[in-house]
């Protein structure tokens, strides 16, 4: 694998020669070169253009396009176009299509219309990718591959029928071996759900009359995630064999929640993700208030963008990542798609670097004049004239941003098992895993703390001094063991619902904190799911501090732990809200200000600086430099630093 070893940030762009007249290719490539771009990603949706009917290939246009970019010294990342099986394929093999939650077979006419478990589709992809890889393996301009495009995005991880549903029982057999074990693990004694034959087990959709058993749903999610992993691995294996000198990556999506990205990242050389800060705030951050959305409508929220960067950096801890698609103008897919503020593109590019990006690739070069994304912008208008982002890319100086590594002292633990089981039974329509996770992340970042977001097992023997587990509701015994061991020399902060479920998503028979009981020293009494208009007062035991909790409060009894905060008023009156024991602080009440007070106390005790930053201002250290970003319209002066509105300031340390 070569080519992710640049000493400074590099830039690139996604381009679609198949969407524009061939006479424009040369001037596009020249402009890309003049903009200082290093990489072009292409062909990730081009299957029907290359193979218009089964077995008839037209590589000529792609060969010619590659020559044009190559003549400008641009390096190419090719997408395997398996996210878009052509019409002939679907007509011939309709069983490849996935099934939605309502049991409807999805139709051809958009993208991602395939079931990852389909053997026929896997074989067809292998045949195609093998041909493509062989064709470009030795082309000097081709440096890497993106497998497929945004695996699982737009609700496509799970198919509720077809090949997935057929393969599920075998996956379960491998896991549980006997139906007795499965029935026990899932708690099928409840509502007479016991199975007497593997063939009776179906996908967990359309279950009468309520939601499916959460243990069943969790295993289906894990299974579908494994199917994606297998699907991706087939392509990785082929590309490794045929193109050993090329890198292999994949472009994951914002707040990806459906597959276990730690598994998916494992065999990639580095990961990439697609950053759309404005759409992310409008579409994904359902918990943010209208006020916040208005404030950050043209920049995206500083923490939500960086949270995603930190997740992707943490998938292959210690390695850099790429932003494979960076929003460079307005998008088309959110409820509202405002124009980015002037300066936002430079700000996002610099921020991506600060959080570990080694390359930022803009989406897309020229706006499409055809089909679903007509309303999406690019660096060029549909007409070919420069759009608003163009000048910002032109002005950006990537060589000022060295791609060094940083050792952060604070880790935040993230787990897909916890995410899935939390979201299967959120017990409050305004709560989700990401909501709770983002609250803790936001608190840490607003205090100026640099964090790594890591898998629970990644804390083992690590250098971290403080480990925050915002929503670790499901941990397995191996993960619990690691936490217990590491608590000898690290401070832990746990959020509500920690260690609530066993590895099958049942509540542990001994109740919450079964696995972590020795560390936490608390037992739950009650949890209280609050409607948005109900607030709960939380007071310190000395009564000198008072906070307001919302949406979720859980109370504990304890023999040995130090009760730091109690509830005041309401059904939990007088019961513990925050307990401290050994090296662990457990916070049962959801409150930003309470969490801020506790995180800063723990970090300060370790000598980690905490300094409450102005709203919209963040600082991040990478290597020898610190980047200050200001997401506000107005210039901010802060401790001798002047950061322009919607701008950044790079300071050598
Ligand atoms: C991404 C996708 C691109 C394009 C873009 C539009 O999710 O990978 O192909 O659709 O969104 O914002």
Q: Name the residue of 275, 333, 365, 389 to mutate for ligand 1: max ligand atoms within 8 A of Cβ.
A: 333
- Band the pLDDT of 67: cuts 50, 70, 90: very high
Structural contact between residues 99 and 62, judged by C-beta atoms closer than 8 angstroms: no
Q: Name the residue of 154, 256, 363, 375 to mutate for ligand 1: max ligand atoms within 8 A of Cβ.
A: 363
**Crossing angle between the packed helical segments 119-136 and 214-242, to the nearest 10 degrees:** 30
CB atoms within 10 A of CB 557: 13
Nearby residues of 245 by Cβ (< 8 Å), 6 or more positions away: 1, 2
What gap in Å lies between CA 272 and CA 42, rounded to an integer?
A: 15
What gap in Å lies between CA 520 and CA 493, rounded to an integer?
A: 10
pLDDT of 502 > 50? The answer is yes
Using DSSP's 3-state secondary structure scheme, residue 90 falls into: helix
Distance between start and end Cα atoms, the chain = 32
**Is this model's pTM higher than 0.85 or not?**
yes
| Ligand 1, atom nearest to 332 Cα | 12
What gap in Å lies between CA 58 and CA 52, rounded to an integer?
A: 8
- Band the pLDDT of 508: cuts 50, 70, 90: confident
- DSSP letter at 484 equals H
Q: Which H or E run includes 104? A: none
Structural contact between residues 297 and 278, judged by C-beta atoms closer than 8 angstroms: yes
Using DSSP's 3-state secondary structure scheme, residue 614 falls into: coil
The whole-number pLDDT of residue 1 equals: 47
pLDDT of 27 > 90? The answer is yes
The whole-number pLDDT of residue 307 equals: 98
Share of the chain above pLDDT 70, in %: 99
How remote is the CA of residue 495 from the centroid of ligand 1, in Å? 34
Closest-CA residue to 344 (of 333, 328, 360) = 328
Q: Which H or E run includes 496? A: none
Structural contact between residues 528 and 536, judged by C-beta atoms closer than 8 angstroms: yes
How remote is the CA of residue 26 from the centroid of ligand 1, in Å? 24
CB atoms within 10 A of CB 57: 14
Per-residue pLDDT of 331-385, as tens digits, reads 999 999 999 999 999 999 999 999 999 999 999 999 999 999 999 999 999 999 9
The whole-number pLDDT of residue 526 equals: 96
Please report which residue ranges of 43-140 form alpha helices under DSSP H.
Answer: 47-50, 60-71, 87-92, 119-136
Map tokens 């929220």 to a residue.
301
pLDDT of 566 > 80? The answer is yes
What average pLDDT does range 66-87 have in this prediction? 98
- Rounded (5°) CA angle 250-318-281: 55
Using DSSP's 3-state secondary structure scheme, residue 531 falls into: coil
Please report which residue ranges of 487-626 form alpha helices under DSSP H.
Answer: 517-520, 592-605
| Ligand 1, atom nearest to 372 Cα | 10
The whole-number pLDDT of residue 542 equals: 81
Per-residue pLDDT of 187-215, as tens digits, reads 999 999 999 999 999 999 999 888 999 99
The whole-number pLDDT of residue 543 equals: 72
Instruction: Return the active site residues.
Output: 150, 325
What average pLDDT does range 606-619 have in this prediction? 97
Name every protein residue with a CB atom under 6 angstroms from any ligand 1 atom: 149-150, 274, 276, 325, 331, 333, 363, 373, 376
Q: Which H or E run includes 28? A: helix 25-34
How remote is the CA of residue 593 from the centroid of ligand 1, in Å? 36
pLDDT of 2 > 80? The answer is no
What average pLDDT does range 235-251 have in this prediction? 98
Q: Which residues of 171-186 are buried (b: 16+ CB within 10 A; e: fewer)?
A: bbeeebeebeebbebb
pLDDT of 4 > 70? The answer is no
How remote is the CA of residue 161 from the centroid of ligand 1, in Å? 26
What average pLDDT does range 37-43 have in this prediction? 98
Report the mean per-residue pLDDT for the chain.
Answer: 96
Structural contact between residues 387 and 380, judged by C-beta atoms closer than 8 angstroms: yes
Share of the chain above pLDDT 90, in %: 96
Per-residue pLDDT of 78-127, as tens digits, reads 999 999 999 999 999 999 999 999 999 999 999 999 999 999 999 999 99
- Taking every pair of C-alpha atoms in the chain, what is the biggest distance, in angstroms? 78
The whole-number pLDDT of residue 3 equals: 57
What average pLDDT does range 32-61 have in this prediction? 98
Higher pLDDT, 173 or 544: 173
| Ligand 1, atom nearest to 279 Cα | 12
- Band the pLDDT of 318: cuts 50, 70, 90: confident
What average pLDDT does range 483-499 have in this prediction? 98
Rounded to an integer, what is the distance from CA 295 to the centroid of its chain? Answer: 23
Token pair recorded at residue 334: 């959110």
**Cα–Cα distances in Å, from 412 out to 10, 404, 450, 520?**
28, 21, 10, 18
The whole-number pLDDT of residue 509 equals: 81
């Amino acid at each position: 694998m070569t080519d992710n070893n640049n000493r400074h940030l590099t830039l690139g762009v996604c381009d679609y020669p198949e969407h524009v007249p061939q006479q424009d290719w040369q001037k596009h490539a020249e402009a890309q070169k003049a903009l200082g771009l290093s990489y072009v990603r292409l062909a990730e949706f081009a299957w029907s253009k290359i193979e218009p009917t089964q077995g008839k290939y037209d590589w000529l246009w792609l060969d010619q396009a590659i020559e044009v970019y190559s003549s400008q010294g641009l390096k190419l990342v090719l997408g395997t176009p398996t996210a878009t099986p052509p019409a002939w394929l679907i007509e011939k093999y309709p069983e490849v299509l996935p099934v939605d939650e309502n049991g409807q077979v999805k139709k051809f006419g958009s993208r991602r219309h395939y079931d990852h478990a389909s053997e026929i589709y896997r074989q067809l992809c292998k045949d195609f990718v093998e041909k493509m890889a062989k064709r470009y393996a030795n082309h000097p301009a081709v440096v890497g591959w993106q497998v497929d495009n945004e695996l699982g995005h737009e609700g496509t991880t799970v198919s509720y029928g077809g090949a997935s549903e057929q393969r599920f029982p075998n996956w379960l057999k491998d896991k549980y071996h006997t139906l007795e074990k499965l029935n026990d693990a899932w708690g099928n004694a409840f509502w007479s759900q016991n199975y007497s034959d593997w063939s009776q087990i179906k996908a967990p959709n359309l279950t009468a009359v309520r939601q499916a058993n959460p243990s069943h749903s969790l295993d289906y999610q894990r299974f579908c995630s494994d199917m994606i992993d297998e699907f991706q691995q087939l392509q990785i294996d082929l590309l490794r064999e045929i193109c050993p000198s090329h890198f292999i990556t994949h472009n994951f999506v914002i707040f990806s929640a459906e597959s276990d990205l730690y598994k998916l990242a494992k065999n990639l050389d580095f990961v990439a993700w697609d950053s759309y800060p404005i759409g992310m705030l409008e579409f994904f951050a359902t918990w943010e208030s209208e006020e916040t959305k208005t404030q950050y409508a043209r920049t995206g929220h500083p923490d939500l963008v960086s949270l995603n960067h930190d997740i992707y950096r943490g998938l292959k801890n210690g390695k850099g990542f790429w932003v494979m698609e960076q929003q460079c103008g307005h998008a088309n897919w959110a409820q509202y798609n405002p124009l980015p503020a002037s300066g936002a593109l430079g700000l996002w590019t610099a921020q991506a670097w600060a959080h570990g990006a080694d390359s930022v690739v803009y989406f897309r070069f020229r706006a499409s004049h055809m089909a679903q994304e007509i309303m999406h912008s690019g660096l060029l208008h549909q007409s070919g004239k420069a759009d608003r982002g163009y000048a910002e890319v032109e002005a950006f100086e990537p060589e000022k941003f060295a791609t060094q590594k940083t050792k952060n002292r604070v880790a935040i633990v993230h787990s897909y098992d916890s995410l899935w089981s939390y979201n299967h039974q959120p017990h409050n329509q305004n709560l989700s895993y990401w909501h709770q996770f983002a609250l803790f992340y936001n608190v840490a970042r607003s205090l100026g703390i640099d964090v790594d977001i890591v898998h629970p097992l990644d804390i083992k023997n690590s250098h971290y001094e403080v480990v925050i587990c915002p929503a670790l509701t499901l941990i397995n015994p191996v993960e619990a063991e690691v936490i217990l061991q590491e608590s000898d020399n690290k401070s832990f902060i746990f959020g509500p619902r920690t260690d609530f479920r066993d590895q099958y998503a049942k509540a542990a028979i001994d109740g919450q904190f079964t696995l972590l009981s020795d560390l936490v020293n608390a037992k739950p009494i009650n949890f209280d799911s609050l409607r948005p208009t109900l607030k709960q007062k939380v007071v310190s035991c000395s009564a000198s501090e008072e906070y307001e909790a919302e949406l979720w409060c859980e109370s504990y009894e304890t023999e040995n732990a130090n009760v730091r905060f109690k509830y005041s008023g309401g059904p939990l009156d007088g019961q513990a809200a925050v307990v401290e024991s050994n090296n662990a602080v457990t916070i049962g009440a959801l409150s930003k200000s309470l969490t801020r007070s506790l995180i800063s106390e723990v970090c300060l005790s370790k000598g980690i600086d905490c300094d409450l930053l102005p709203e919209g201002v963040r600082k991040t250290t990478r290597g020898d430099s610190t980047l200050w970003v200001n997401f506000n319209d107005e210039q901010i002066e802060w401790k001798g630093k002047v950061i322009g509105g919607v701008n950044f300031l790079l300071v050598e340390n």
